[in-house]
Amino acid sequence: MVEILTKFKMKLTMKARNFLSFLVAVFALAFLQVTPISAMDCSDTFDTFACIDDVTVNGISHFSDESAAVFAGDTIAVRVVFTANEMEEDGFDDDFEEDVRVIARILGEPGLSEVTERFDVIEGKTYSRLLNIKLPFDLDDNLNEPFILEVTVESNSEEADSVSIDLEVQRENQLIEILSVESDDEVKAGDNLELDVVIKNRGRDLSEDTFVRVNIPALGIKKMVFLGDLSPVDQSDPDKEDSGLVRVFLRIPKDTPAGVYNVEIEAFDDDSTTLATRKVVVVGAGQESDVISSTNSKTFAVGEEKEYTITIVNADDRIKVYELIPETTGTELSINLEESIVAVPAGSSKTVKMTVKASKEGTYNFAVNVHSDSELVKKQNFVANVEGRAAVGNAAVVLTIILAIIFVVLLIVLIVLLTRKSEKSEESFGESYY
């Protein structure tokens, strides 16, 4: 009886052991399916000072079944969590590792990487570092392109652990880009600023009715040009292109002061817009044409005519025609130009005379506006100080009075002479009679 009980107990123990072994195997298999192989191998071997526990991209874990949706042109947030392993005395310095850093990079894309500052890690501690990587948005051929994100934990002496993640990057539905803007760096006032603008569709959808607008806010001038539709990708059947070139001519006003101006280039359709800026130097009209006067202020009397001069300098490389228009207030001051329209050859000058006359005393401000090519070149200001009466008028009055007096005196002398002559004639006749 005892022997039978002993055998039954042994069988029961063996079954229990087999059942426990089965349970251990099941849990181990489940653990292997859930736990990433790279992380398990890293922690099991203890050959490195740290193991990566998790990497999340935009909040989605790399070790989960979900995949992170990332868009071209976005900045993705990469969170790296790792644990420092138990460090043996042989091969490690005490219980910490110096100058550790975390690197996240997009393979095959130079410049697309981010690196943390260096820091020390202590065994048994878990660390978390956040890195941000700017993804490119210039996807040329395919609407979706695979990228590989590689995350590495390393020190000066070794690479501890590394994880590679496949990223499926997709374009935004609507996205246009200004690829280039070509123009001269300098333009003369009165000339056209010519710009060649290249626009590309970076979106997944067709960019319909695309426009380009050029604007110089400081001058209040703008020009808009229609580009048309841009396909998401180049195709030959039917023939469609994902980029286009437009040429824009923006006229700079003739009276624009010389200086540096910001030029805004905007490309847009119904769903998206993009903006680029550049600078252009405007050479003012004063460097091509100039208006000068030797004397801008003169003093003269009422009724007197005074002469002013105005000199026009044409420093351009072509002949230019100028129109002179007087500007004054009231009717007391009259201005007469010798010529109102003058042609000045290239690289020369011409002086125009004008006479000014006032009908009453006072200080008068007047100007002459000089135009060329329907644009104001310069406004030349003058001053006329009118005081008293003209000296030439007083002299005439005095001369008239003097002449009248002389005439009266001569008349009296003539009468006296005639009277005396008559008396002498009578005396001579009486003496001959007796």
**In this structure, are residues 330 and 376 in contact, taking their beta carbons and an 8 Å threshold?**
no
Q: What is the rounded average pLDDT of the residues 193-204?
A: 88
Q: 130, 151, 170 — which closes off a domain?
A: 170
**What's CA 39's distance to the chain center, in Å?**
51
CB of 168 closer than 8 Å to CB of 146:
yes
Per-residue pLDDT averaged across 414-427, rounded?
69
- 77 and 62 within one domain: yes
Q: Same structural domain for residues 279 and 296?
A: no
Average pLDDT for residues 341-370, to the nearest whole number?
A: 91
- The answer to whether residue 339 sits within a structural domain is yes
| Residue 298 covered by a domain | yes
**Predicted confidence (pLDDT) per residue in 384-415, tens digit:** 999 877 655 555 666 778 888 888 888 888 88
- Judgement on whether residues 160 and 53 belong to the same structural domain of the protein: yes
Do 106 and 118 fall into the same domain?
yes
Sheet (strand 176-183) strand order: 176-183, 192-201, 243-251
**Residues 180, 166: one domain?**
no
Model pLDDT, residue 398: 67
In this model, does residue 202 exceed pLDDT 50?
yes
Kindly state whether residues 305 and 252 are assigned to the same domain. Answer: no
314-336 per-position pLDDT tens digit: 887 788 899 999 998 778 899 99
Say if residue 278 is exposed, middle or buried (CB neighbours under 10 Å; 0-12, 13-18, 19+).
middle
Mean pLDDT across the stretch 191-199? 92
CB atoms < 10 A from the CB of 118, how many? 12
Together in a domain, 94 and 151: yes
Give the separation between CA 253 and CA 194, rounded to whole angstroms: 14
Domain check: are 361 and 280 in the same one?
no
Residue 20 lies in a domain: no
Mean pLDDT of the region 270-287: 82
Residues 56 and 143 occupy one common structural domain: yes
Strands of the 50-57 sheet, one edge to the other = 60-61, 50-57, 75-84, 126-134
Task: Please count the structural domains in the chain.
Answer: 3
Q: Locate 221 and state its tokens.
A: 């001038």
Q: Is residue 398 part of a domain?
A: no
What pLDDT is attached to residue 191? 87
With respect to residue 18, please indicate whether it lies within any of the assigned structural domains: no
Q: Kindly indicate the confidence band of residue 254, based on its pLDDT and cuts at 50, 70 and 90.
A: confident
* Domain termination residue (choose one: 251, 286, 321): 286
Q: Is residue 413 part of a domain?
A: no
Asked whether residue 9 is domain-assigned, the answer is no
Does residue 238 have a cis bond before it (omega within 30 degrees)? yes
Q: Which CATH number do you get for residue 163?
A: 2.60.40.770
**CATH number of the domain bearing residue 333:** 2.60.40.10
Would you state the pLDDT for residue 364?
Answer: 92
pLDDT exceeds cutoff 80 at 163: yes
Task: Examine residue 34 and state whether it is found in any structural domain, yes or no.
Answer: no
Q: Is the pLDDT of residue 209 over 60?
A: yes
- Of 59-63, 82-86, 190-194, 426-430, the poorest mean pLDDT is in 426-430
Last residue of a domain, one of 123, 154, 170: 170
Cα–Cα distance between 116 and 155 in angstroms, integer?
Answer: 12
CA dist 67 and 45 (Å) reads: 29
Tokens 């351009």 correspond to 316
Residue 143: the pLDDT is 46
What is the average pLDDT value for the chain, to the nearest integer? Answer: 79
Q: Which of 273, 275, 256, 274 is nearest to 264 (CA)?
A: 275
What integer pLDDT is reported at residue 54 of this predicted model?
A: 92
Lowest mean pLDDT, pick from 59-63, 181-185, 263-267, 394-398? 394-398
Which domain covers residue 190, as residue numbers?
176-286
Residues 239 and 313 in one domain: no
Longest Cα–Cα distance of the chain, Å, equals 231
Asked whether the CA dihedral 291, 297, 302, 305 is positive or negative, the reply is negative
pTM of the entire predicted model: 0.46
Residue 305 has pLDDT above 80, yes or no: yes
Give the separation between CA 395 and CA 402, rounded to whole angstroms.
10
Q: What's the per-residue H, E or C state across the chain?
A: CHHHHHHHHHHHHHHHHHHHHHHHHHHHHHHHHHCCHHHHHHHHHCCCCEEEEEEEECCEECCCCCCCCEECCCEEEEEEEEEECCCCCCCCCCCEEEEEEEEEEECCCCCCEEECCCEEEECCCEEEEEEEEECCCCCCCCCEEEEEEEEEEECCCCEEEEEEEEEEEECCCCCEEEEEEEECCEEECCCEEEEEEEEEECCCCCEEEEEEEEEECCCCEEEEEEEEEECCCCEECCEECCEEEEEEEEECCCCCCCEEEEEEEEEECCCCEEEEEEEEEEECHHHCEEEECCCCEEEEEECCEEEEEEEEEECCCCCEEEEEEEECCCCCEEEEECCCEEEECCCEEEEEEEEEEECCCEEEEEEEEEEECCEEEEEEEEEEEEEEECHHHHHHHHHHHHHHHHHHHHHHHHHHHHHHHHHHHHHHHHHHHC
Q: Are residues 136 and 59 in the same domain?
A: yes
pLDDT tops 50 at residue 22: no
Distance CA(192)–CA(251), nearest Å, equals: 4
Tokens of 117: 């500052």
304/393 Cα distance (integer angstroms): 9
For range 63-88, the mean pLDDT? 81
φ, ψ (nearest 5 deg) of residue 40: -65, -45
Using CA atoms, how far apart are residues 126 and 107, in angstroms rounded to an integer? 27
Average pLDDT over residues 133-139: 75
Asked if residue 277 and residue 193 are part of one domain, the reply reads yes
